[in-house]
Amino acid sequence: MFKNKDGLIVMRHYDPVKNLGGLADLIKFIEADGKVMVEVGSYMGESASVFAKHVKSITAIDPWVEGYDDNDGASSTNMSKVEEYFDKTMSNFSNMKKIKMKSLEACKQFDDESLDFVYIDAEHTYEALFNDLKAWTPKVKKDGWICGHDWQRMDLRKAIVDVLGDPDRKFSDNSWCFKKSRLNKDFNE
């Protein structure tokens, strides 16, 4: 992991062209321009700022509390500083709304089929991602996209496959996406 000059762990530092380029490829692939989205797990706003340049509106959801995820070293950093960094990064975007709470609690604020896409990069455990996918998929329109990060992690990959199957596409930054209309499941059960 890499720390920036403020001592905060930077998630996409190691190859910004590859990693932020992967997000750019995802944005192009799902035709995100002008869409309404939610990002679950926003941390410092690295990916949220990329999305905000393209989408009509982005709601960034994160608890910004320390120790929320034992599987993610970033959660042991000073989250009040991380949140300040996020706020500063996103202050130039009028299309951004911030919700400071955990994923499953925030999910209740959205109507079913109200989002064009969701991007999940939150708590990094099988159980948490499994539950996030089950909770957020109904919020996406039938012709929308369910997307996320960390395909390279086998425990998270298993949760993705167990809930949704194999992604329609994977990207260089380990992002992935599914067209909801392709899924043969009813998530409103």
- Please report how the helices 154-163 and 126-136 are oriented relative to each other, as an axis angle in degrees rounded to 10: 30
| DSSP codes, 71-101 | T-GGGGS-HHHHHHHHHHHHTT-TTEEEEES
pLDDT (tens digit per residue) in 120-175: 999 889 999 999 999 999 999 999 999 999 999 899 999 999 999 999 999 988 99
**To 5 degrees, how large is the angle CA 117–CA 123–CA 125?**
110
In one-letter notation, the amino acid at residue 82 is V
Q: Are 183 and 163 in contact (CB under 8 A)?
A: no
pLDDT tens track for 8-20: 555 554 444 445 6
